[in-house]
């Protein structure tokens, strides 16, 4: 098979080399982006008089035909043509003849491939932002329905202080909000266009890079041709943001798994998001959140992979950089899949409010509040802490909770106690007392919900 670059060679490429160096089996995902970039490039070539307008038109018509065929699944890509760029150029040649050869004027595959990936990632980043928003909306829905649902809040996975379930869920809303901000911010840099950098040094043709940028709706062109073809930090940035986002998804998934265990029984995931066991008939396994947690590993791996590929690469293009794609595609697809499942899974989960309430009624998570109570009566916090510690120990030894102790028992620890502690120790009171901004008190959670809703207006 004759190569597009075959002129300088006297021998056929080794078959194994063909297979080893080819990227068409994965970079065919960039087919439409590649055509988009070429359409803009050839239009600019025509407008600048670098190639005759009628040749540019012939190429445009040819590319559009190929585009249709690709969309309709009518093309077959060939390993002999190595990558998506040369596959499409070959198709163009078959479609319109030798004039196809003018498309690559003033361009190299190096600026071409970088351009394709910028177009791809720009589009995907916008899509992913929308998917993050869907998850945020599902969180908002559950939060709104649970502004009175009290659950134990944990530190060290030990019961700490009661909180509203809405408050707990909204914590994830804000994490996702920051992920979204990071994605949006990264668009500024994805919006730099490498096209026109040539192989590494620019081109001898009088191209207009601003024009291709305008046609492709890019906000800026790379000011340095070496940087343009060597830069993959827009992908590293995406992978970093994706890793942080997956960390958040993974932590939420872990909680969903924990909460749906027999030990917690705080929530129940909808049957449609769970699977069974081939041997144990009673099982309902939270496979989806488990996989979300598990898939976080591959996203981190993709980030580490590309960091390692780039480290130590001299400028400008090196074939190593072809390894930038699979991790990027895999991360995009992992995020799309994960976010698309997470939203409806949260939306359909059942919240076992009674179980959560039983949990907070049978623990010592109201202990801080009687310490605060003694403080309001004038005792220094440290002394109050010591007294309540003793009361908790006493209660544990007598198999009681704080609300079960009699006034007599309380008085034996401090004369400062009076009947009002029975109100203060009620979970609802404990929660609502945390009325500081950002706290779990219902009024504050309502303020927070409003701030969250405002993000969508």
Nearer to ligand ARG, 2 or 263 (CB): 2
The interface with ligand ARG within residues 16-35 (CB under 6 A) comprises 23, 27
Tokens of 391: 């009361």
Q: 10 Å Cβ neighbour count for 416?
A: 16
Q: Which of 25, 261, 277, 418 is catalytic?
A: 277
Nearer to ligand ARG, 112 or 260 (CB): 112
Distance in Å, CB of 23 to ligand ARG, minimum: 4
Nearer to ligand ARG, 117 or 292 (CB): 117
Q: Is 115 in the site for ligand ARG (CB under 6 A)?
A: no
Q: Is 295 in the site for ligand ARG (CB under 6 A)?
A: no
- Residue 277 among the catalytic residues: yes
Which residue's entry shows tokens 């077959």? 76
* Site mask for ligand ARG (CB under 6 A), range 172-211, x = bound: ----------------------------------------
The interface with ligand ARG within residues 401-420 (CB under 6 A) comprises none
* Site mask for ligand ARG (CB under 6 A), range 308-337, x = bound: ---------x-x-xx---------------
Nearest to 101 by CA among 16, 42, 181: 42
Nearest to 371 by CA among 300, 440, 421: 421
Rounded CA separation 339/444 (Å): 28
SS3 content of the chain, % helix, strand, coil (to 5): 65, 5, 30
- For 123-154, letters b (16+ CB in 10 Å) and e give ebbeebeebbbbbbbbbbebbeebbebbbbbe
Q: Is 81 in the site for ligand ARG (CB under 6 A)?
A: no
Distance in Å, CB of 352 to ligand ARG, minimum: 51
Q: Which of 81, 104, 118, 156 is catalytic?
A: 156
Distance in Å, CB of 239 to ligand ARG, minimum: 17
Q: Which of 113, 193, 207, 351 binds ligand ARG (CB under 6 A)?
A: 113
- For 250-277, letters b (16+ CB in 10 Å) and e give bebbebbbbbbeeebebbbbeeebbeee
Angle at 336 between CA 330 and CA 339, to 5 degrees: 130
Answer yes or no: are the C-beta atoms of 352 and 267 closer than 8 Å. yes
Distance in Å, CB of 28 to ligand ARG, minimum: 11
Nearer to ligand ARG, 267 or 321 (CB): 321
Kindly state the DSSP code that residue 223 receives in the 8-state scheme. S
Q: Is 116 in the site for ligand ARG (CB under 6 A)?
A: no
Q: Is 306 in the site for ligand ARG (CB under 6 A)?
A: no
Distance in Å, CB of 92 to ligand ARG, minimum: 17
Nearest to 247 by CA among 333, 325, 186, 338: 338
Distance in Å, CB of 435 to ligand ARG, minimum: 57
Q: Is 87 in the site for ligand ARG (CB under 6 A)?
A: no
Burial of 217 from C-beta contacts in 10 A (0-12 / 13-18 / 19+): exposed
The interface with ligand ARG within residues 117-176 (CB under 6 A) comprises none
Q: Is 110 in the site for ligand ARG (CB under 6 A)?
A: yes
Nearer to ligand ARG, 105 or 348 (CB): 105
Rounded CA separation 411/278 (Å): 58
Rounded CA separation 116/218 (Å): 12
Q: Is 77 in the site for ligand ARG (CB under 6 A)?
A: no
Nearest to 316 by CA among 109, 26, 19, 118: 109
Rounded CA separation 291/242 (Å): 16
Distance in Å, CB of 24 to ligand ARG, minimum: 8
**Catalytic residue positions, numbered:** 156, 277
Site of interaction with ligand ARG (CB under 6 A): 23, 27, 83, 109-110, 113, 317, 319, 321-322
């Amino acid at each position: 098979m004759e190569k597009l670059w075959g002129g300088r060679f006297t021998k056929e490429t080794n078959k194994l080399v063909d297979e080893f160096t080819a990227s068409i089996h994965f970079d065919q995902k960039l087919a439409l982006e590649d055509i988009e970039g070429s359409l803009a490039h050839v239009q600019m070539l025509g407008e600048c008089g670098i190639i005759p307008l009628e040749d540019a038109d012939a190429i445009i018509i040819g590319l559009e035909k190929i585009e249709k065929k690709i969309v309709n699944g009518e093309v077959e890509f060939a390993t002999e043509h190595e990558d998506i760029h040369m596959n499409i150029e070959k198709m163009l040649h078959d479609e319109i003849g030798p004039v196809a050869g003018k498309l690559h004027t003033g361009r190299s595959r190096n600026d071409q491939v970088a351009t394709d990936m910028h177009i791809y990632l720009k589009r995907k980043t916008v899509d992913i932002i929308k998917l993050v928003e869907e998850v945020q909306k599902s969180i908002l829905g559950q939060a709104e329905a649970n502004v009175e649902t009290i659950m134990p809040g944990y530190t060290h996975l030990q019961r700490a202080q009661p909180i509203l379930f809405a408050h707990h869920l909204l914590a994830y809303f804000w994490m996702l909000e920051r992920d979204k901000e990071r994605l949006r911010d990264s668009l500024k840099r994805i919006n730099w266009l490498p096209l026109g950098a040539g192989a590494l040094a620019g081109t001898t043709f009088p191209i207009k890079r601003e024009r291709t940028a305008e046609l492709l709706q890019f906000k800026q062109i790379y000011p340095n041709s070496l940087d343009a073809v060597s830069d993959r930090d827009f992908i590293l940035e995406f992978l970093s943001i994706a890793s942080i986002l997956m960390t958040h998804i993974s932590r939420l998934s872990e909680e969903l798994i924990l909460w749906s265990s027999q030990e917690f029984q705080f929530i129940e995931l909808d049957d449609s998001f769970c699977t069974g066991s081939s041997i144990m008939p009673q099982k309902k396994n939270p496979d989806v959140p488990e996989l979300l947690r598990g898939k976080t590993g591959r996203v981190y791996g993709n980030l580490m992979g590309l960091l390692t590929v780039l480290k130590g690469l001299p400028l400008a293009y090196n074939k190593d950089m072809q390894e930038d794609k699979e991790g990027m595609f895999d991360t995009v697809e992992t995020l799309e899949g994960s976010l698309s499942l997470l939203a409806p899974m949260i939306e359909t989960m059942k919240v076992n409010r009674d179980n959560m309430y039983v949990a907070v009624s049978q623990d010592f998570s109201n202990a801080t509040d009687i310490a605060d109570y003694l403080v309001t009566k004038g005792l220094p916090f440290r002394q109050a802490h010591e007294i309540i510690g003793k009361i908790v120990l006493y209660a544990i030894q007598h198999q009681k909770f704080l609300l079960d102790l009699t006034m007599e028992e309380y008085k034996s620890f401090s004369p400062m106690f009076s009947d009002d502690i029975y109100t203060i120790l009620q979970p609802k009171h404990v929660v609502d007392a945390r009325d500081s901004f950002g706290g779990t008190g219902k009024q504050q959670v309502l303020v927070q919900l409003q701030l969250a809703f405002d993000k969508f207006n």
